[in-house]
């Protein structure tokens, strides 16, 4: 009896290998450029809160970033300690909290954007707008595929 393994999808392996390496390299470069004491996870939460323009619960933020509530609580605690977010109780349910970006959080987010924009902008410029737009649509489709899989797993 022979052991027959399914063929390896070389295209998928090559695509995801490149994505993982690009992710690792870009995160390392961006982390070095962020203002002192700010981590990429901090910037991501500040950016989300600034763009959404409102309050979010820690559970909502954890879902958005696909992390545990504990990990998000840790990130929020660090942001609150730095004065970048305000955390308040839910007036209707004291067990819940809401998080909003503070004015100093907006300034910190703006400083982080100013620090990382040249890195991101230079990468896009080197590749070219047309190629990046094309890649962006593919990346969005991949993301929605994985989000659908995660959603299906949570339902079962």
Q: In this predicted structure, what is the pLDDT of residue 141?
A: 94
Please state the pTM of the whole predicted model: 0.83
As given in the structure block, the two tokens for residue 154 are: 């949570």
Task: Specify the 3-state DSSP secondary structure of 94.
Answer: coil
In angstroms, the CA 23 to CA 57 distance is 28
What is the helix (H) or strand (E) element at residue 99, kind and residue range?
strand 97-101
Asked if 56 and 98 touch (Cβ cutoff 8 Å), the reply is yes
Under CATH, which number does the domain 34-155 receive?
1.10.10.10
Asked if 43 and 112 touch (Cβ cutoff 8 Å), the reply is yes
Q: In this predicted structure, what is the pLDDT of residue 151?
A: 77
Length of the chain: 156
Q: In this predicted structure, what is the pLDDT of residue 142?
A: 93
**Quick one: the chain helix, strand, coil %, rounded to 5?**
70, 5, 20
Q: In this predicted structure, what is the pLDDT of residue 2?
A: 61
In angstroms, the CA 55 to CA 77 distance is 16
Domain ranges of the chain: 34-155
Mean pLDDT, contiguous 10-residue spans, the chain (156 residues): 74 94 96 94 97 93 93 97 95 91 97 96 96 94 89 78
CA 91 to chain centroid? 29
């Amino acid at each position: 009896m022979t052991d027959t393994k399914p063929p390896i999808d070389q295209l998928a392996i090559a695509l995801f290998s490149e994505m993982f390496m690009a992710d690792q390299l870009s995160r390392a470069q961006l982390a070095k450029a962020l203002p002192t004491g700010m981590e990429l996870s901090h910037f991501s939460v500040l950016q989300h809160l600034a763009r959404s323009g409102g309050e979010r619960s820690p559970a909502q933020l954890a879902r958005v970033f696909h992390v545990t509530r504990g990990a998000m609580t840790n990130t929020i605690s660090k942001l609150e300690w730095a004065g970048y977010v305000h955390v308040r109780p839910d007036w209707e349910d004291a067990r819940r909290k809401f998080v909003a970006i503070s004015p100093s959080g907006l300034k910190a987010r703006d400083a982080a954007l100013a620090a990382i924009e040249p890195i991101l902008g230079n990468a896009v410029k080197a590749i070219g707008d047309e190629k990046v737009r094309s890649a962006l649509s593919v990346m969005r489709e991949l993301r929605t595929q994985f989000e659908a899989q995660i959603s299906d797993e949570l339902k079962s």
